[in-house]
């Protein structure tokens, strides 16, 4: 159940991360306002969009219409400024932006209205960035964690419209034939914002240990819970409260990892990998660390390496590979690092990927670099042959060509740069690779 439930959201998360927009990863950001309203039989006009924007978002469906109405206003400022009722409509937007009208407790309406106002007035939108670092994603994991991975997609810089290429990719893929169903899902969930995901493993012996997952963002707790219950997953629920009157809903499935919704911001999983399947204990540990009743990851064996992480890191992989992972690479590479520190760092020109893998000894490090370099050359050869038929692969060739790998002592060092141009081109590249809808009648 857990793996099946996570697959879609995680794939979506990766698409949003590599879109390179630097903006919030919102569910409604994947939809075209024009297409959505057309599918719902709504005639778009300035007056109608203001009406929808000013409606209290008392349920998920109303919220989706409200946010897409505000986005529609932001997308065509020159058109709507010519409307007869512009002054009155602008006054309504100012009230929403101030949080005094049609607001929601997560602040979506206020944020979307601020952007719409700024674009209608021709001003620079306010900064919507968040000040905390990727480390905040990791603080709920216990001290005995041996490997952790994290990706952070929180907004960077001023409020801005979503990258339309991601919506176009969705629409032009096989899912494009199911857009009505996707709208229906959104109208049950409301807007969902993904800000980051992290996964941690505490493993002392092969086949034994605990795995934790945390997804952070914003979503209405009650609507999300109702959606999960509607999926016939045979879940039982338990309600609890955390300090600060934060609602916690624990969801149980037979012989499945435990899942918990925490407030309007977090979704967590806990999974015991041993034969005992002690998922209850695993979740209790995570919640105890969250409540500061047990030591967290920053006091354990990874604390020194976590301190090395750049404050601007958008991604991290730190720790010792599980034995199963090390063994899986034995047939592919004659040597493979046992321990890794890797980070994705935001730079003005894009993203830098930096990694250091620790091998058993200096000879193993040299052997790994030699075999990895050979794989890189093979990839370049394949890309050279393919790019004539698929010119979208040219940026990928440049990316692979930019990879640098070398050894120093028992460490293998890797570097790669992902430019903003490359990141913006990822949706177009994916569009050539994902299945497209079959023509009607096939």
Distance between CA atoms of 98 and 350, rounded to whole angstroms? 34
Report which of residues 123 and 257 the model is more confident about: 123
CA separation for the pair 159, 234 (Å, rounded): 40
Q: What is the mean pLDDT of residues 238-245?
A: 86
> Do residues 152 and 131 touch, judged by C-beta distance below 8 A?
no
The DSSP-derived string for 37-59 is HHHTTPPP-HHHHHHHHTS---S
Q: Residue 356 and residue 148: Cα distance in Å, rounded? A: 15
The β-bridge partners of 358 are 339, 411
Please say whether the dihedral angle defined by the alpha carbons of residues 189, 434, 75 and 116, taken in this order, is positive or negative.
positive
Per residue in 323-342, pLDDT (tens digit) is 777 777 766 777 889 999 99
Task: State how far the Cα of 87 lies from the Cα of 72, in Å rounded to an integer.
Answer: 17
What does DSSP say about strands 404-408 and 193-205: parallel, antiparallel, or unpaired? unpaired
Q: Which residue has the higher pLDDT, 66 or 386?
A: 66
**Max CA pair span of the chain:** 76
- Per the structure block, which two tokens stand in for 315? 């991604």
* DSSP calls for 356-414: EEE-SSHHHHHHHHHHHHHHHHHHHHHHHHHTTT-GGGHHHHHHHHH-EEEEETTEEEE
Q: Measured at the alpha carbon of residue 179, what is the angle toward residues 178 and 183, in degrees to the nearest 5?
A: 125
pLDDT digit string, tens, across residues 184-198: 999 999 999 988 899
How does the average pLDDT of the chain come out, rounded?
85
Q: What is the pLDDT of residues 400-438, one digit of tens each?
A: 888 999 999 999 999 999 888 887 777 667 666 655 555
């Amino acid at each position: 159940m857990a793996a099946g439930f996570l697959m879609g959201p995680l794939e979506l998360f990766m698409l949003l991360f590599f879109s390179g927009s630097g903006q919030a990863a919102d569910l409604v950001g994947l939809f075209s306002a024009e297409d959505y309203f057309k599918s719902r039989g709504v005639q778009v006009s300035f007056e109608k969009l203001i009406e929808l924007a000013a409606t209290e978002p008392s349920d998920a469906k109303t919220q989706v219409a409200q946010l897409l109405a505000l986005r529609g206003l932001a997308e065509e400022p020159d058109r709507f400024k010519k409307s007869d009722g512009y002054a009155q409509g602008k006054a309504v937007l100012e009230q929403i932006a101030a949080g005094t009208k049609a607001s929601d407790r997560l602040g979506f309406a206020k944020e979307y209205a601020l952007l719409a106002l700024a674009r209608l007035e021709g001003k620079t939108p306010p900064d919507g960035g968040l000040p905390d670092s990727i480390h905040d994603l990791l603080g709920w994991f216990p001290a005995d964690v041996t490997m952790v991975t994290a990706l952070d997609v929180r907004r960077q810089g001023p409020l801005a419209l979503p990258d339309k290429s991601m919506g176009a990719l969705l629409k032009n893929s096989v899912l494009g034939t199911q857009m009505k169903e996707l709208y229906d899902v959104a109208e049950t969930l409301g807007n969902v914002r993904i800000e980051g995901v992290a996964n941690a493993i505490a493993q002392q012996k092969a086949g034994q240990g605990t795995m934790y997952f945390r997804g952070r963002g914003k979503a209405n707790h009650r609507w999300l819970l109702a959606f999960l219950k509607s999926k016939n997953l045979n879940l039982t629920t338990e309600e609890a409260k955390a300090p600060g009157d934060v609602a916690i809903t624990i969801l149980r499935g037979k012989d499945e990892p435990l899942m918990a919704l925490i407030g309007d911001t977090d979704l967590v999983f806990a999974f015991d990998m041993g034969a005992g399947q002690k998922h209850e204990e695993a979740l209790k540990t995570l919640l105890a660390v969250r409540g500061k009743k047990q030591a967290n990851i920053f006091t354990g064996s990874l604390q020194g390496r976590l301190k090395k992480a750049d404050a601007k890191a958008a991604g991290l992989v730190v720790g010792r590979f599980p034995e199963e992972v090390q063994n899986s690479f034995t047939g592919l590479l004659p040597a493979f690092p046992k321990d890794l520190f890797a980070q994705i760092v935001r730079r003005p020109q894009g993203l830098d990927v930096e990694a250091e893998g620790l091998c058993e000894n200096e000879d193993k490090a040299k052997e790994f670099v030699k075999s990895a370099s050979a794989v890189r050359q093979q990839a370049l050869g394949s890309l050279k042959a393919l790019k004539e038929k698929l010119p979208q692969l040219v940026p990928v060739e440049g990316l692979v060509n930019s990879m640098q790998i070398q050894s120093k002592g028992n460490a293998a060092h890797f570097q790669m740069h992902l430019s903003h141009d490359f990141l913006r081109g990822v949706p177009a590249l994916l569009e050539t690779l994902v299945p497209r809808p079959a023509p009607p009648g096939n």
